[in-house]
């Protein structure tokens, strides 16, 4: 059955791979599932056809036969459950990998997203620098725990899993900010994720959307 996901027609990140379709593409590449992509304008996100798939009018979505899903975490979890390669077979190890998926989305991503949002929306406010310091301290509180737990290991809990896929996806937003670089083991962890052939294929596919726009 054909899998179709949705992505931005014009991603504001200009092909940096920061929009949340990237993690879904990466998961599909890891498990070797081909997929189609429907590109959407910002306007069409809020039109009835897309709202029927996604109640909040966002990307990504996932369609496969009569199944339609939204929320990148739920989509990655679905892919990981249906195909080998992203979740361990051992029940306890699987539960721990799922815990890391939740940690990435529920504990680590929110402060990172708050900082990204403030940089866009609050940049001109007189209190911006002060707020940025608070937001960055919130991030440090989370990533320092993550750094200690990862230690010298390659991945968070044994073999690479959907937990690592989501954690690396979330941390990528900090690359170049100086914050990730404060934790050399996390920088190396992110680089290991980016070096995976499946990541590269996913990255190139989303970059091709931007390149086609700028050359077309
Ligand atoms: N919790 C949802 C999920 O994980 O799927 C959140 C989905 C979401 O935030 N989607 C965003 C969207 O559709 C795109 S990814 N926004 C349009 C809208 O809400 O109208 C967030 C995002 C956007 C842009 C960049 N960027 O340019 O760097 C990075 C991330």
Domains of the chain and any CATH numbers: 3-85+198-215 (3.40.30.10), 91-196 (1.20.1050.10)
Of all atoms in ligand 1, which is nearest to the CA of residue 75?
5
Residue 39 DSSP symbol: E
The predicted pLDDT at position 62 comes to: 98
Category of 10 on φ-ψ map: left (φ > 0), alpha (ψ -120 to 50) or beta: beta
Say if residue 215's pLDDT is above 90: no
Six token digits for residue 62: 């996932």
Instruction: List pLDDT tens digits, range 33-81.
Output: 999 999 999 999 999 999 999 999 999 999 999 999 999 999 999 999 9
CA gap 158, 215 in Å, rounded: 43
Residue 103 DSSP symbol: I
From residue 210, how far is each of 7, 9, 14, 43, 177 by CA, in Å?
A: 11, 8, 6, 18, 23
The mean predicted confidence, pLDDT, of the chain is 97
Say if residue 169's pLDDT is above 70: yes
Please give the distance, rounded to the nearest whole angstrom, from the Cα atom of residue 20 to the centre of ligand 1. 6
CA gap 203, 85 in Å, rounded: 19
Of all atoms in ligand 1, which is nearest to the CA of residue 59?
13
**64 — phi, psi (to 5°)?**
-150, 110
Say if residue 216's pLDDT is above 90: no
The predicted pLDDT at position 144 comes to: 98
CA gap 5, 38 in Å, rounded: 6
Mean pLDDT of 85-90: 98
Instruction: List pLDDT tens digits, range 131-153.
Output: 999 999 999 999 999 999 999 99
Of all atoms in ligand 1, which is nearest to the CA of residue 73?
4
Q: Is 116 in the pocket of ligand 1 (CB under 6 A)?
A: no
pTM for the complete prediction? 0.97
Apex 36 CA angle, 32 and 42, nearest 5: 130
Q: Is 19 in the pocket of ligand 1 (CB under 6 A)?
A: yes
Mean pLDDT of 2-28: 97
pLDDT band at 17 (very low <50, low <70, confident <90, very high): very high
Apex 48 CA angle, 47 and 52, nearest 5: 125
Q: Is 181 in the pocket of ligand 1 (CB under 6 A)?
A: no
Say if residue 213's pLDDT is above 90: no
């Amino acid at each position: 059955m054909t899998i179709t996901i949705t992505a931005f027609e014009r991603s504001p990140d200009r092909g940096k791979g920061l929009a949340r379709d990237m993690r879904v593409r990466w998961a599909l590449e890891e498990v070797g599932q081909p997929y189609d992509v429907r590109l959407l304008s910002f306007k069409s996100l809020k039109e009835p056809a897309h709202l029927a798939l996604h109640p909040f009018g966002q990307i990504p979505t996932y369609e496969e036969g009569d199944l339609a899903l939204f929320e990148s975490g739920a989509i990655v979890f679905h892919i990981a459950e249906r195909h080998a390669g992203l979740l361990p077979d051992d029940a306890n190890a699987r539960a721990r990998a799922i815990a890391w998926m939740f940690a990435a989305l529920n504990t680590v991503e929110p402060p990172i997203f708050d900082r990204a949002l403030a940089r866009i929306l609050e940049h001109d406010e007189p209190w911006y620098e002060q707020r940025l310091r608070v937001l960055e301290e919130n991030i440090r509180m989370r990533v320092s725990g993550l750094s200690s737990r990862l230690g010298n290991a390659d991945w968070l809990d044994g073999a690479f899993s959907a937990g690592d896929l989501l954690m690396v996806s979330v941390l990528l937003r900090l690359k170049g900010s100086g914050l990730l670089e404060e934790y050399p083991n996390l920088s190396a962890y992110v680089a290991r994720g980016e070096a995976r052939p499946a990541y590269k294929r996913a990255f190139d596919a989303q970059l091709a959307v931007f390149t086609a726009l700028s050359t077309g």
